[in-house]
Structure 1
Amino acid sequence: MTTPQITEERLRNYLDGNQPARERLCIAILNMDRRFSDVRPRHPKGGPDGGRDIEAKYRDTELTYGAAGFVNGANDSEAQIKQIKAKFKADLQAALREEVKPTAFVFFTNVALTAGEKAALVKAATKAGVTECDIFDRERLRVALDGTDGLGARVQYLDIPMSSAEQASFFARWGDDIQSLVASRFQSVESTLSRLLFLQEARATLKTISVRFILDRTYTGKEIGHFRAFVSFFFPKMRHGLTEALFGSTDKSRRFSAHPYRGRPEPSGIAHGVSDMRWESRLKIKGDPEDDDAEADYVKYVPHGSGSGIGAKEVKQIVVSYHHTDTFDFQFLPRLSLEDIQGAWVMPNLNATLAEKLDAIEIWADGYVLMSLERSDFSLDRSPTEFPVPGHFSDQELADPWVRIRPSGFSSNLTIDFTRQTPKRAYVTKEMGGPIKR
């Protein structure tokens, strides 16, 4: 038996007594017809529906009602044809009795009707008041289900497998859409899990914030020469009294030491050495031993660690970092968590020569990428400004002026925002292996 014969035979009797499946099959077929949209069932599990098994829109605007008139063991006898004609007229009249009358009416049946019989029913429908009437009898249902668009519904409702040729045709037509749908579902689940994991891990003590200034190419240390790259983090929440953290890196390894110029003068430029420095501004908190010696209620730019390193012969990026001195071992005082920096304002400050070489900026915290900016995402504010902590740079160095990095949009500062997007986790946790076998 050929596939069309199998499809026709299944339409005759395979769904006998299964009204929900019959209606769902009709909905699937109507969805294939581009004239109709917003196709949906009314009572697919049975019950009074007022001649409206299906509701849809014809040409996107006109109300359409549809009805399924299937018989058990369709054999196209005169009695069955008479039964279907009566069913068509009853469903049409019931639909037209509704307060909101349909513009179009669609009827589905597994009985074969002649062209004349269908024309007579359509004429009766238009005379009754509908503008558009369409009838899907058994042959028309078969043609739809044996076509490429109907193969999925044919498998689902009539349990007719696809041949190799039909599979090739089906996946050529729908393969990309199916793959995209599956991928989008997986992405949605993965996105939700990533969000939950971040919210959980964001409660842990914040260890390190790093800002990567990525240059537009690799430069020699001599090309970079003197550089200044500092970042201010302003904390609106003021957790544990902390209002601002200022941190960054510059050339000369002894610049921030207690005796920076003792001994032989240190040459300028990133090729000869680098140093980093961190400051904090805090409100005085009663009972905090760290604030016992503070006379004012607000302490601005208190040093909180420095470091130094060897020079760089080649430079593709400059990374500056912030962490508190007791973060890595024992924590004697309350510290920020990652979630505490929600809403923080970020203001990078660089010397103009370095800023002009920027290609991208990334902000990291404890293995998460909080912000990633391309060159088009930020602008250089060249309006005059001074470094918040004076006295560390010579007039000659400051002849290459400070430049502030601002968003390209209307905002004044870069802002850490966990509500609009979930930070990306930059590493995958590995599962520990099983016990050692002895």
Structure 2
Amino acid sequence: MNDTELRLSFWRDGSTKSERLAAAALKLSGYEEIDPQNPLGGPDGKKDIVCIKGGVRWVAAVFFPGGPKSFSAVKKKYLSDLAGATNEYGGFVFVTNQTLTAKQRVTLTKYATDLRKEADLIHLQQLQNLLDSPHGYGVRIQYLSIPMTLEEQLSWAVQSDSQTAQALTAHTRELLLLRASIERMSAGQEDIVRTFKLSAPMAPPTADLISVSSFVKSDSWSSISVQLTPAHILLFHRLLCFDLPKRSVGQLRTEDAWLGTSKGRSTELAQPMR
């Protein structure tokens, strides 16, 4: 019997510390949202701890006598605490510092399963294994005051490094996903800004400062339009519209061009141009 098993078997630290140790053991066993009901003493409705595992609400009962007890005494305590697992709870877990055989564990858990509840039992050997493992060394130091050996320190350091590396990998993955989300949001905002710019009201057109209508003639020379001939216009057309198809450059239009709409309007507003 090693120090962990010995100190658990002959518990001398009272019910408050035993319930806190049991809560730590439940956490090591995968239970979550662990809620001790009244560890400082007083009525707790036969519910030492309430917790959750696998989406099920559990009642945890703690039995830490000061030495080995008979199976009948353990069974009596088990059945008494099982009464606290009312219908609102789907599971019952019993945490004890007693040694129980496989047959005895089956007998106890059957009482809970007969009530259609999930059953779990953390006994002395399981407690020892939890506290003598690298992730349980801290709990063992806190509640049993058993320091780590050199070998245990090395084992703890290796596991801590592995957990740190896993945490860094997970955090890096989350940061990369967050960065990708931000980049997608930025791209979407650019599209929104571009859309708003396209849909924004356009500014009024700038006045044509060289328009004939705003040009004041101050000389006696005749207007250039007097001297224009069709040949001049076709020449200007070729010079200005060189990028148009050759069949359209420097040629007079042969078909009619309509001002306005040829249907649904009066003939005065829709006349062909030649």
Q: TM-score range by the shorter chain?
A: 0.5 to 0.7
Q: Give the whole-Å Cα distance in 1 for the aligned partners of 2:94 and 2:36.
A: 14
After TM superposition, the structure 1 = structure 2 runs for residues 236-385 of structure 1, keeping only pairs within 5 Å, are none
**Aligned mate of 1:49, from 44, 47, 59:** 44
Q: CA deviation at 1:153?
A: 0.5
In structure 2, the partner of 1:16 is: 12
Match of 1:108 among 95, 115, 137: 95
Is the Cα–Cα contact under 8 Å of residues 50 and 95 in structure 1 kept in the other structure?
A: no
Give the 5 Å matches for 1:60-209: 61-72=55-66, 74-76=67-69, 78=70, 81-96=71-86, 100-130=87-117, 132-174=118-160
Amino acid at match of 1:70: F
Cα distance in 1 for partners of 2:142, 2:132 equals: 13
Pairwise CA distance, 1:44? 1.4
**Pairwise CA distance, 1:17:** 4.7
- SS of alignment partner, residue 120 of structure 1: helix
Q: Which has the higher strand share?
A: 1
Distance in 1 of aligned mates of 2:24 and 2:75: 23
Dislocated runs of 4+, deviation >4 Å: 175-178
* Per-residue Cα deviation, 1:4-34 (whole angstroms, up to 9, x for no partner): 6111101012x42521111111111111123
Q: Which position in structure 1 is the counterpart of 2:251?
A: none
Shift of 1:171: 2.6
Q: Which runs of 5+ in 2 are unaligned?
A: 165-185, 198-274
- Find out whether 1:26 has 2:22 as its counterpart: yes
- Structural mapping, 1:402-413, within 5 Å: none
Give, in angstroms, the shift of residue 95 of structure 1: 2.3
* Number of residue-to-residue matches in the alignment: 174
C-alpha separation between the residues in 1 aligned to 2:94 and 2:83? 13
Distance 2:158 2:42 in 1: 40
Give the structure with higher Rg (CA). Answer: 2
Closer/same/farther in 2, CA of residues 153 and 83 from structure 1, 3 Å limit: same
Two-structure CA RMSD over aligned residues (Å): 2.8
Give yes or no for contact 2:56–2:91 (8 Å, CA) kept in 1. Answer: yes
CA–CA distance in structure 2, aligned partners of residues 120 and 176 of structure 1: 40
Identify the residue that residue 215 of structure 1 maps to in structure 2. Answer: none
What residue identity is the alignment partner of 1:91? D
> Given the superposition, is the C-alpha separation of residues 17 and 155 from structure 1 closer, same or farther in structure 2, using an over 3 Å criterion?
closer
TM-score by length of 1: 0.36
Deviation at 1:117, TM superposition (A): 0.8
Offset of residue 101 of structure 1:
2.4
Quote the offset at 1:158 in angstroms.
Answer: 0.5
Q: Give the SS at the match of 1:128.
A: coil
SS of corresponding position for 2:141 = helix
Name the SS of the counterpart of 2:2 in structure 1.
helix
* Structure 2 residue identity aligned to 1:153: V
More helix by proportion, 1 or 2? Answer: 2
Cα distance between partner residues in 1 of 2:104 and 2:59: 21
Report the counterpart of residue 400 of structure 1 in structure 2: none
Shift, 1:85, TM fit: 1.0
C-alpha distance in structure 2 between counterparts of 1:94 and 1:157, whole Å:
26
Tell whether the 8 Å contact from 2:59 to 2:84 is kept in structure 1 after alignment.
no
1:176 CA drift (Å): 7.9
Q: Give the distance between the partners of 2:45 and 2:159, measured in 1 at CA.
A: 37
Separation in 2, partners of 1:108, 1:20: 14
The question of whether the paired residues in 1 share the 8 Å contact of 2:85 and 2:91 is answered with no
Deviation (angstroms), 1:37: 1.6
Secondary structure, aligned partner of 2:88: coil
Secondary structure of 2:89's partner?
coil
Q: 2:102 & 2:162 partners in 1: Cα distance?
A: 38
In 1, the alpha carbon distance for the partners of 2:41 and 2:53 equals 24
Give the alignment of 1:379-394 within 5 angstroms: none
> How far apart, in 1, do the equivalents of 2:151 and 2:158 lie?
11
Post-superposition shift, 1:172? 2.5
Which letter does structure 1 place at the counterpart of 2:40?
K
Structure 1 residues without counterparts, runs of 5 or longer: 179-375, 384-438
Q: How far, CA to CA, are the matches of 2:5 and 2:159 in structure 1?
A: 24
CA distance in 2, matches of 1:163, 1:52: 36
